[in-house]
């Protein structure tokens, strides 16, 4: 009986010693998670790094790297976020976790507007992927990439394939419809100075442009009519042409700026109001 | 027996609960985690961890690493304060003093550097050469050509960079500068020539053509008895002529400034890339 007690005691001590480090790590996870949920990203990163350092069995390797990356992302440090999402991807053998890490990298690329990197990664995944659900997810993020790159037409084409994304595709359509045609604005300005600006809603600028062109056009023609060729040439080239060129350049610039404004406003609206997944 | 058993269990549980909060945060673990962060070049976190560690007790190596972390983050003034606290250290006094000089040099506090260097009688001979390099580099980078001597420069740095140093020295001592006055005179004699002298060929030709055409138009209009147009073009020609002289003088100044900027940038890139030919601080991980 005495011997049994000794063994029991020894067993208990060994159990406590073995369980304890795991228990410490679990407590560390909770501590770091708590900081993360409070959005104290700097401290959360420190504690997840501590967890990684003491986690000799690499039990929390994927989790901690992923959380560090999320914290960096939350703090706007996108390059560091990508670095840790890659570490997370490398630290797991689970294919769904690997896929999740890659999606996160895509999302960070969308946010930091490294469009080509995002598209390359999506295309690479699409070429290997056969699971329809994952293909749909990849297409979804591809559309987001194009939305951030101000290529709403392509985003709309992608989203329009899937009925689930109808809300987002509707937003894309709205942007396409609201946008001004830069070429049309320029063409109008070529035909009638100021008309391009009127088309983009810049009425004062349009009226000014029209007035200057009428004035200098009149002076130029009048000089030629009165056989003051040199004056006509000088006014025509130095003044009339200058205002005529300024007119269509202005129309083009107004249309481009308005389009950027429309796209940015819509993107802002979507990020604030859209209930689906966002980068 | 049973009593003893429960007592031991109770003691174990008590010890466990007491240590529960602190295992990853005890002094040993804090130090090893801080060292890991230091090696990962996460200097801000390493600095914070080392400071927490110091709450457990004094450690000169940790203070030294704190100063390195601060210097790596560009917080030189704080690093210098930590360096100073180690001047009396038995093990790290020399290293700390060297880092102190390095930090003064990197933070461009050259007057302080010189003051301590000239009054310090305890500079170890093996570090002397590096301190000399810092002083010479500082003179080079601040473009104090009168302080520099090529032989001294070549002697202080490795032979492998002798050509580069000679090139820098020549560019600094005998710069291919343009004389603004001469540029102005050239442009006064022939419009645009000053610009050609300052290697702005396109501008020179444009100035020559524009001033020439306007002068011709002025003369032509006077000859045709168009006085108003004659005076108008005379005014314009005079305006462009004066502008061309002013532009040539400015262009010469800009040329000289660009020359200095390009030399400054070349030297900074070269020295920075080679870590100023000073050994890395101790404890820095490769």
Query: What does the alpha-carbon distance between residue A26 and residue B196 come to, in Å, rounded to a whole number?
Result: 75
Shared-domain flag, residues A137 and A186: no
- Percent of chain A past pLDDT 90, that is, above it, reads 78
Shared-domain flag, residues A125 and A205: no
Query: What does the alpha-carbon distance between residue B27 and residue A188 come to, in Å, rounded to a whole number?
Result: 76
pLDDT class for B128, splitting at 50, 70, 90? confident
Shared-domain flag, residues A105 and A121: yes
State how many domains chain A has: 2
Domain boundaries, chain B: 29-105, 124-174, 180-271
How high is the pLDDT of residue A10? Answer: 58
- Give me the domain span that covers residue A216: 182-269
pLDDT class for A23, splitting at 50, 70, 90? confident
Angle between helices A166-178 and A132-148 (to 10 degrees): 30
A165-211 tens-digit pLDDT: 999 999 999 999 999 999 999 999 999 999 999 999 999 999 999 99
A16 vs A45, residue with greater confidence: A45
CA dihedral A52, A54, A56, A57 (to 10 degrees): -70
Domain end call among A160, A179, A198 = A179
Residue A278 resides in a domain: no
Shared-domain flag, residues A10 and A22: yes
Question: Are B82 and B70 spatial neighbours (Cβ–Cβ below 8 Å)?
Answer: yes
Domain end call among A179, A206, A227 = A179
What end-to-end distance do the CA atoms of chain B give, in Å?
58
Shared-domain flag, residues A224 and A257: yes
Shared-domain flag, residues A222 and A117: no
Cβ distance of B12 and A5 shorter than 8 Å:
no
pLDDT class for B21, splitting at 50, 70, 90? low
Write out chain A residues lying below 8 Å of B12, CB-based.
12-13, 16
Residue A144 resides in a domain: yes
- Average pLDDT on A124-141 reads 91
* Token pair listed for A225: 């009519």
Question: Are A64 and A55 spatial neighbours (Cβ–Cβ below 8 Å)?
Answer: yes
**Could you say which of A12, A45, A53 has the minimum Cβ distance to residue B33?**
A53
Shared-domain flag, residues A31 and A133: yes
How high is the pLDDT of residue A245? Answer: 95
The helix/strand/coil state of A219 is helix
**Could you say which of B1, B2, B33 has the minimum Cβ distance to residue A50?**
B33
Q: Please say if the pLDDT value at position A2 is more than 60.
A: no
Shared-domain flag, residues A63 and A13: yes
A32-67 tens-digit pLDDT: 999 999 999 999 999 999 999 999 999 999 999 999
What CATH architecture applies to the domain B29-105? Answer: Alpha Horseshoe (1.25)
Q: Please say if the pLDDT value at position A98 is more than 60.
A: yes
Residue A81 resides in a domain: yes
Cβ distance of B33 and A54 shorter than 8 Å:
yes
Sign of CA pseudo-dihedral B239, B243, B245, B246: positive
Q: Please say if the pLDDT value at position B220 is more than 90.
A: no
pLDDT class for B121, splitting at 50, 70, 90? low
Write out chain B residues lying below 8 Å of A28, CB-based.
24
Give me the total of CB pairs closer than 8 Å, taking one residue from chain A and one from chain B. 39
How high is the pLDDT of residue A171? Answer: 93
B236-265 tens-digit pLDDT: 999 999 999 999 999 999 999 999 999 999
Residue A194 resides in a domain: yes
Shared-domain flag, residues A170 and A193: no
Angle between helices B93-106 and B125-141 (to 10 degrees): 0
B146-193 tens-digit pLDDT: 778 889 889 999 999 999 999 999 999 888 899 999 999 999 999 999
Shared-domain flag, residues A15 and A121: yes
Residue A7 resides in a domain: yes
Domain end call among A179, A202, A221 = A179
Query: What does the alpha-carbon distance between residue B193 and residue B203 come to, in Å, rounded to a whole number?
Result: 10
Shared-domain flag, residues A207 and A172: no
Q: Please say if the pLDDT value at position B22 is more than 90.
A: no
Shared-domain flag, residues A133 and A238: no
């Amino acid at each position: 009986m005495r011997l049994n007690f000794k063994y029991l005691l020894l067993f208990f001590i060994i159990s406590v010693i073995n369980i304890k480090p795991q228990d410490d790590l679990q407590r560390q996870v909770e501590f770091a998670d708590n900081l993360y949920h409070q959005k104290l990203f700097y401290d959360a990163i420190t504690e997840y790094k501590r967890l990684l350092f003491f986690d000799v069995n690499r039990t929390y390797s994927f989790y901690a790297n992923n959380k560090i990356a999320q914290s960096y992302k939350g703090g706007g440090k996108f390059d560091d976020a990508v670095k840790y999402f890659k570490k997370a991807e490398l630290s797991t053998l689970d294919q769904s976790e690997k896929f999740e890490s890659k999606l996160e990298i895509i999302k960070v690329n969308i946010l930091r507007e490294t469009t080509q990197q995002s598209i390359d990664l999506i295309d690479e995944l699409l070429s290997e992927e056969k699971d329809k659900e994952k293909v749909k997810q990849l297409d979804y993020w591809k559309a987001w990439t194009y939305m951030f790159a101000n290529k709403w037409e392509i985003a709309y084409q992608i989203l329009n394939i899937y009925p689930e994304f109808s809300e987002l595709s509707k937003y894309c359509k709205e942007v396409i419809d609201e946008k001004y045609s830069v070429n049309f604005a320029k063409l109008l300005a070529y035909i009638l100075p100021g008309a391009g600006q009127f088309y983009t809603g810049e009425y004062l600028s349009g009226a000014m442009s029209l007035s200057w062109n009428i004035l200098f056009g009149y002076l130029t023609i009048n000089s030629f009519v009165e056989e003051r060729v040199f004056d006509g040439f000088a006014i025509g080239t130095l003044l009339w042409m200058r205002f005529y060129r300024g007119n269509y350049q202005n129309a083009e610039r107004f249309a481009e700026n308005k389009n950027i404004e429309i796209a940015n406003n819509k993107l802002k609206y979507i990020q604030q109001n859209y209930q689906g997944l966002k980068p | 027996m049973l009593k003893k058993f429960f007592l031991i269990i109770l003691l174990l549980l008590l010890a466990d609960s007491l240590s529960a909060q602190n295992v990853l945060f005890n002094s040993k673990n804090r130090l090893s985690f801080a060292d890991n962060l230091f090696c990962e070049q996460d200097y801000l976190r390493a600095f914070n961890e080392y400071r927490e560690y110091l709450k457990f007790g004094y450690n000169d190596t940790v203070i030294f690493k704190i100063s390195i972390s601060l210097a790596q983050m560009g917080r030189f003034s704080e690093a210098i304060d930590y360096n100073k606290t180690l001047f009396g250290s038995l093990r790290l006094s020399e290293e700390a003093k060297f880092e102190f000089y390095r930090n003064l040099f990197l933070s461009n506090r050259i007057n302080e550097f010189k003051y301590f260097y000239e009054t310090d009688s305890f500079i170890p001979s093996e570090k002397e050469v590096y301190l000399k390099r810092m002083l010479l580099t500082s003179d080079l980078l601040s473009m104090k050509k009168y302080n520099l001597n090529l032989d001294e420069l070549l002697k202080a740095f490795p032979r492998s960079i002798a050509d580069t140093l000679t090139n820098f020295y020549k560019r600094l001592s005998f710069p291919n500068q343009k004389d603004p006055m001469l540029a102005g005179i050239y442009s006064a004699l022939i419009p645009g020539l000053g610009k050609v002298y300052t290697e702005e060929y396109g501008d020179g030709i444009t100035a020559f053509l524009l001033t020439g055409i306007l002068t011709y138009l002025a003369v032509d209009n006077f000859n045709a008895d168009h006085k108003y147009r004659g005076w108008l073009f005379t005014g314009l020609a005079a305006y462009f002529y004066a502008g061309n002289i002013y532009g040539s003088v400015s262009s010469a100044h800009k040329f000289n400034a660009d020359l200095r900027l390009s030399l400054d940038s070349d030297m900074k890139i070269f020295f920075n890339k080679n870590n100023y030919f000073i050994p890395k601080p101790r404890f820095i991980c490769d």
